[in-house]
Structure 1
């Protein structure tokens, strides 16, 4: 079974997320911290929408910040396209196409450009979910985000 098919079958069962964010030496935005939350998957024939809610604790702070994201995973035979729908499905922002990198990984086929910033990602299938690592580079950005998406504990 291909990595794309395995991920497509896994997406509807994901309900939890946690992540860490680390700013590198070239960062001017100080995104370091940790977050966690829930995922409400909405499944359709050709796509799965993740509505995410949770809290992020910036490094060195005592107060959490609430977050909400909406991502759409469009399912295709040779790739999975990831979109950010924070402004709704009609204004979805295409991030990148994920293609097979190995039997357990998908990688961004090409970087997503947002102004002077470049976004790249690698997805790795795990026992009860997957890890999605983002790298964001730009004039004021040097960020690495590692998300863990999981099925609920049985």
Structure 2
């Protein structure tokens, strides 16, 4: 079974997320820390929407910051297209297409360009969910984010 089929079957059961953000030496935003939250899944005709809510604790801080994100995974036979709906579904930002790299890994086919910044992703299937690594590079950005998405029973 291909990584795309396996991920497509797994997406509707995701309920939890944790993530770690690390800013590199070239970063001008210093956005290192850890987050956790819940995922509400909305199934559409050819897509799955993740409505994420949780808290992020910046490194060196004692107060968590609330976050909310909405991502849409559009399902296609040979790829998944990931959108960020921060401005609503009608104005979603297309991030990148994920294509199979192996039986358990998908990678962004090409980077997403946002101004002078590039965003790339690598998704690895895991036993009870998946891991999505983001790499963001630009004149003031040098970020690595690692998300772990988990099914309801884990």
Q: Which residue of the partner structure matches residue 122 of structure 1?
A: 122
Q: Which residue of the partner structure matches residue 47 of structure 1?
A: 47
2:144 corresponds to 1:144: yes
The 1-side partners of 2:23 and 2:13 are apart by 31
Give the 4+ runs in structure 1 shifted more than 3 A.
Answer: none
2:68 corresponds to 1:68: yes
Q: Which residue of the partner structure matches residue 135 of structure 2?
A: 135
Q: Which runs of 5+ in 2 are unaligned?
A: none
- Number of residue pairs aligned between Structure 1 and Structure 2: 154
TM-score between the two structures when normalised by the length of structure 1: 0.98
TM-score between the two structures when normalised by the length of structure 2: 0.98
Q: Deviations over 1:90-146 (max 9, x none)?
A: 000000000001110000000000000000000000000000000000000000000
Q: Deviations over 1:24-82 (max 9, x none)?
A: 01001001000000000111231000000000000000011000000000000010000
Alpha-carbon RMSD across the aligned residues, in angstroms, is 0.7
Q: Which runs of 5+ in 1 are unaligned?
A: none
SS at match of 2:136: strand
The 1-side partners of 2:37 and 2:148 are apart by 11
Please report how far the alpha carbon of residue 153 of structure 1 lies from its aligned counterpart in structure 2 after TM superposition.
2.7
